[in-house]
Amino acid sequence: MRLLHTSDWHLGRSFHRASLLDAQRAFLDHLVATAQERAVDAVLVAGDIYDRAVPSLAAVEMFDHALHRLAERGITTVMISGNHDSARRLGVGSKLMGRAGVHLRTDPEECGIPVLLPDGAGHGEVALYGVPYLEPSLVRHALGAGTGGHTAVLRAAMDRVRADLATRPAGTRSVVLAHAFVTGGEVSDSERDITVGGVASVPASVFDGVDYVALGHLHNCQTLTERVRYSGTPIAYSFSEAGHPKSMWLIDLGPGGEVTAERLRCPVPRPLARLRGSLAELLEDPAHERHTDSWVEATLTDAARPHDPMARLAERFPHTVSLVFAPEREETDDTRSYAVRLKGRTDRQIAEDFVAHVRPGRAAAPEESAMLGQALEAVRVAESEQDEPAAPSRTAPAARPAAHGHPTGTEGAR
């Protein structure tokens, strides 16, 4: 039995506000072509098909087109929902789609109902179980997991898998798709945190008793054990993935459940480059010429922030999408307290010192110093006006009206 394990497509996601739709279409073309060329029996997609619960129309169209092409080629597809997906929306029409060989597993209570694939070589059926992302607070009661967190609900789901597997003919091989953070996995910056609802990571031992576990959620392709693997994302979604070759797992499941894995690289739409140095170094160093067509994250180490750095970088690196400032400053051996260092200095001198501190090598220019002085004077005047007591009114009080025929004024008072 030959399986193609992938996950975390995140259809519709952008990269620092740059569209990745063309790159995602190229990946899906590659997926369909690979499944056909390598005679794959089933494509496994371990969650996060979309990047958001309500995906864009373009993302839905890509998804629909890919499933149609796989179905037309007679390739079974088994998919689960991830923490980015809306399980209910993704699962609409799942039973009807199952008749075409597209099996969507989004209901946690159905995790013990497998997709059964016949083995053309006569080695019996393979049972594929889909365990969608399980949010503990939402599914613990349905799965009978009590008050536990991620480990408890996933263990309860796997108990259902093992209970069903025990009813199958002896020798039935088993595969589980799951979307979870398994202990030992390497994280990146682009996964959504799932710690709400308890400790996020679960031990790999919860999957004991099955032949292969196709994991999704972590974005780096990795092997936890020979039988438990992450495929990772097919495209990089953060600069923390710059060193992650993107790929899928081609899994051959032998007659006795033996696992043979081959890592298949995915096309790279645009490489990532993390460059560090002064603006002049990044613009002039010939070693950076190979990054002119890359997505670039530039970390500038200039002591003083250069003028218009993004536009100047874009002239050499048109796909610069991230700019970080990390000025390199000389260490100071001044151990005096802050109060001692300020003693005897005027407010204007302190403000000028601050400018020189945040812009090493560029103290306040004369016109800047003058502006600081004007600003401080304006503040001083405003504070003085607030502290000054209100002047008494110069308007004489109005005379009281006469009463009982008496004249007004002091004479009447007498």
Q: In angstroms, what is the C-alpha Rg of the chain? A: 34
| H helix intervals, 10-144 | 21-37, 57-72, 87-90, 94-98, 136-143
Q: What is the mean pLDDT of the chain?
A: 88
Stretch 391-409: mean pLDDT, rounded?
48
What percent of the chain is modeled with pLDDT above 90?
69
- Give pLDDT, residue 388: 61
- In the block, which residue shows the tokens 């993302």? 59
- Give pLDDT, residue 353: 79
Half-sphere exposure of 87 (CA within 13 A, CB side): 20
- 247-253 and 259-265 strand pairing: antiparallel
pLDDT reading at 408 higher than 50? no
On whether the CB atoms of residues 236 and 242 are closer than 8 A, the answer is yes
Q: pLDDT digits over 311-345, tens only?
A: 999 999 999 999 999 987 655 556 676 677 777 78
- Give pLDDT, residue 409: 44
Pick from 124-133, 177-186, 402-411: least confident: 402-411
More confident residue, 398 or 140: 140
Q: pLDDT digits over 11-56, tens only?
A: 999 999 999 999 999 999 999 999 999 999 999 999 999 999 999 9
- The ranges assigned to domains in the chain are 2-265, 272-325, 330-377
pLDDT reading at 410 higher than 90? no
Q: pLDDT digits over 55-82, tens only?
A: 999 999 999 999 999 999 999 999 999 9
- In the block, which residue shows the tokens 């569209």? 19
Stretch 257-277: mean pLDDT, rounded?
95
pLDDT reading at 403 higher than 50? no
Written out in words, the top-level CATH class of the domain with range 2-265 is alpha beta
On whether the CB atoms of residues 185 and 218 are closer than 8 A, the answer is yes
pLDDT reading at 394 higher than 90? no
